């Protein structure tokens, strides 16, 4: 008798159709997906901060953060930066093509703890993708405290999620500030690191939760700036990147000491990360 693995379904991707492809910049595309199984698609739920394992035949599988809000049921947005074989294959796909999805996986952002606080979002590049899910969820649920969004990009041409950034900047109680590392003709905005935008903000560290996502070097700089400004470790929340294989805590490929990014994260507070030996947070 052939024994079935108890973990078979955990590794079995469900087919999902690409309904729309949104070109965010030359390197980032957002794929709007819906599961082919309509009943499953209608019941599918996730939370901001979780990720999906995305597979393309003959190209492998990779974790991609959800960039949409669960408030808009029936479709899921995955924003993908071209960075390797699988992501290049995704970028070549078009509306109507089918990929494999399994998930959602990971510990989400602690949304309940954000409701009665001012919120500061600091992102660089594709790092805005998981924070986009949080921001739009907060706005959709009527968050009535102040929201500050700081976003850094390499150049003005590299700015992603332009439509969202414009909408957020026009929303009451939301302050949206941008900066670029290198200017281009026609750009009259800020030039410099994303930490330079703190000079234009009025933040009360005792009343504010800070959510950070971006390249490791940017995260280090932002965490140092937040500490300098008096933010407590438990009020700083970030996401960690590790090369995840299974997504469900079996292979332990994404371990950080005794924690697994796929199950114990990818969302962590700075307080939690300080208990771990995490390279990205060393000065």
**At 225, which CATH number?**
3.40.50.80
- Considering the domain architecture, whether residues 177 and 195 belong to the same structural domain is answered as yes
- Considering the domain architecture, whether residues 27 and 76 belong to the same structural domain is answered as yes
Closest CA to 102 of 178, 37, 16: 16
Q: What is the CATH number of the domain that holds 29?
A: 2.40.30.10
Closest CA to 207 of 275, 120, 272: 120
DSSP 1-57: -PPPPTTGGGG-PEEEEEEEEEE-SSSEEEEEEEESSHHHHHH----TT-EEEEEET
- Considering the domain architecture, whether residues 55 and 159 belong to the same structural domain is answered as no
Backbone angles phi, psi at 14, to 5 degrees: -100, 140
Domain count for the chain, please give it: 2
- Considering the domain architecture, whether residues 138 and 85 belong to the same structural domain is answered as no
- pLDDT tens digits for the chain (283 residues)? 333 444 456 678 999 999 999 999 999 999 999 999 999 999 999 999 999 999 998 898 999 999 999 988 899 999 999 998 999 999 999 999 999 999 999 999 999 999 999 999 999 999 999 999 999 999 999 999 999 999 999 999 999 999 999 999 999 999 999 999 999 999 999 999 999 999 999 999 999 999 999 998 999 999 999 999 999 999 999 987 756 667 766 777 767 777 777 777 689 999 988 887 664 444 4
Whether 277 is covered by a domain: the verdict is no
Containing structural domain, residue 210:
111-239
**Distinct helix (H) and strand (E) counts, the chain:** 7, 15
How far apart, in whole angstroms, are the C-alpha atoms of residue 60 and residue 100? Answer: 10
- Considering the domain architecture, whether residues 47 and 156 belong to the same structural domain is answered as no
Whether 223 is covered by a domain: the verdict is yes
- Considering the domain architecture, whether residues 200 and 129 belong to the same structural domain is answered as yes
- Considering the domain architecture, whether residues 145 and 32 belong to the same structural domain is answered as no
Q: Is the peptide bond before 104 cis (omega within 30 degrees of 0)?
A: yes
- Output DSSP code: residue 112: G
């Amino acid at each position: 008798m052939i024994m079935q693995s108890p973990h078979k379904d955990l590794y079995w991707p469900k087919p999902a159709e690409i309904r729309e492809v949104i070109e965010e910049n030359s390197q980032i595309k957002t794929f709007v997906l819906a599961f082919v199984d309509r009943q499953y698609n209608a019941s599918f739920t996730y939370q901001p901060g979780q990720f999906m394992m995305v597979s393309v035949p003959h190209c492998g599988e990779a974790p991609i953060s959800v960039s949409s809000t669960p408030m808009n049921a029936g479709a899921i947005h995955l924003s993908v930066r071209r960075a390797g074989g699988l992501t290049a294959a995704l970028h070549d796909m078009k509306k109507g093509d089918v990929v494999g999805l399994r998930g959602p996986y990971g510990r989400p952002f602690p949304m309940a703890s954000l409701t009665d606080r001012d919120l500061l979002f600091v992102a660089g590049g594709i790092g805005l993708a998981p924070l986009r899910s949080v921001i739009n969820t907060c706005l959709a649920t009527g968050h009535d405290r102040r929201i500050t969004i700081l976003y850094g990009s390499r150049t003005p041409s590299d700015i992603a999620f332009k439509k969202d950034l414009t909408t957020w900047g026009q929303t009451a109680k939301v302050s949206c500030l941008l900066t670029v590392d290198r200017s281009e003709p026609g750009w009259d905005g800020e030039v410099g690191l994303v930490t330079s935008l703190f000079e234009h903000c009025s933040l009360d560290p005792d009343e504010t939760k800070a959510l950070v996502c971006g390249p490791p070097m940017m995260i280090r700089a932002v965490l140092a700036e937040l500490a300098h400004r008096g933010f407590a470790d438990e009020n700083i929340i970030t996401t960690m990147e590790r090369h995840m294989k299974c997504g469900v805590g079996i292979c332990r490929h994404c371990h950080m000491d005794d924690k697994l990014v796929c199950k114990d994260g990818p969302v962590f507070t700075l307080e939690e990360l300080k208990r771990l030996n995490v390279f990205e947070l060393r000065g």
